Amino acid sequence: MKRNYISVALLCGILLLNIVFTQFMVHQYFYENYVNTLIFMSLNIILFPIAWLVYKRDRRKA
Amino acid sequence: MTDKNNRIPFDEDNYTHNINRDNERKLDRRGFMKTLVGAAGVFAVSSLPWGAVAAKELLGLGNKEYPHQKIADLNAVAIGDAVEFHFPGEHDSALLIRLGDEKFVAYQNACTHLRCPVFWVKDKNEMICPCHHGKFDVETGAPTAGPPRRPLPEIEVEVKDGAIFAVRVKRYEA
């Protein structure tokens, strides 16, 4: 069985982005830039379906 | 037949010893990816409340509105004088100070140390709490001396039809 670690790396990157966006979201909230908070929240939410698609693509390939 | 289960390894042909726990906790590549997707889901869900409170702030739902309350007639307050009133509740004592022709400041005057009433000393240009000699800046309500460390809550004031009205209590920013 040939293993593909590209998807794993992609998911790790997505997790890193999640952490970064969450950090920005919280900080922008306390800096009272509420529009930025909303932007980072939507980015965080969009990352979930992306991660799921990466996983699904990987499973289809195998 | 009698020592059927005493042999090592014994035959697993019974239903009481049929659980194979070998490698049960091993995390393979697929399982690791599942975990990562789950983590992304947790991040997505947990960022929802932050968005909710941010939207609440944007829509201004956090600013409480109270009915406007008349404090005094414009002519009745000389420049440099102070008027006591209560806003928004009847037990929230407050202080209006006229600093200039058009300039009014108002604060809820319970000292932020131990809630003694703060009063206005005209000739020293200071707000003083008599209990522990806390002093507040009259322009901003910020503490300048003594035990209090937090500013007095400010009340927004509006001049309308020759009278002074208390409009709302400003959001408290520590």
3-state secondary structure A1-62: CCCCCHHHHHHHHHHHHHHHHHHHHHHHHHCCCHHHHHHHHHHHHHHHHHHHHHHHHHHHHC
Q: What is the pLDDT of residues B9-37, one digit of tens each?
A: 666 666 666 677 777 778 888 889 999 99
- The CB-side HSE value for B15 (13 A sphere, CA atoms) comes to 0
- State the best of B28, B29, B47 to mutate against chain A, taking most chain A CBs within 10 Å: B47
The pTM score is 0.61
Q: What is the pLDDT of residues B125-154, one digit of tens each?
A: 889 999 999 999 998 889 999 999 989 999
Domain hosting residue A14, numbered range: 6-55
Q: Searching chain B, which residue's CA lies closest to the CA of residue A55?
A: B33
The answer to whether position A1 is within a domain reads no
- State the best of A5, A17, A41, A54 to mutate against chain B, taking most chain B CBs within 10 Å: A41
Integer-rounded Cα Rg, in Å, for chain B is: 33
How many domains are contained in chain A? Answer: 1
The answer to whether position A45 is within a domain reads yes
Q: Which residues in chain A have their CB less than 8 angstroms from residue B39's CB?
A: 15, 18
* A4 band by pLDDT with thresholds 50, 70 and 90: confident
Q: What is the mean pLDDT of residues A29-47?
A: 94
Is the CB of residue B117 less than 8 Å from the CB of residue B80? no
Sheet holding B119-121, edge to edge: B119-121, B126-129, B134-136, B143-145
- The pairing of beta strand B154-160 with beta strand B143-145: unpaired
What are the φ/ψ torsions at residue A30 (nearest 5 degrees)?
Answer: -75, -20
Chain-chain contact of A42 with B36 (C-beta, under 8 angstroms):
no
3-state secondary structure B62-98: CCCCCCCEEEEECCCCCCCCEEEEECCCCCCEEEEEE
Cα gap B165→B77, rounded to integer Å: 13
Report residue A50 as tokens. 């992306």
- For residue B1, is pLDDT > 60? no
Domains of chain B: 69-169 (2.102.10.10)
The answer to whether position A60 is within a domain reads no
- For residue B169, is pLDDT > 90? no
State which amino acid sits at residue B75.
N
Q: Which residues in chain B have their CB less than 8 angstroms from residue A25's CB?
A: 47, 50-51
Q: What confidence score (pLDDT) does residue B148 get?
A: 92
The answer to whether position A39 is within a domain reads yes
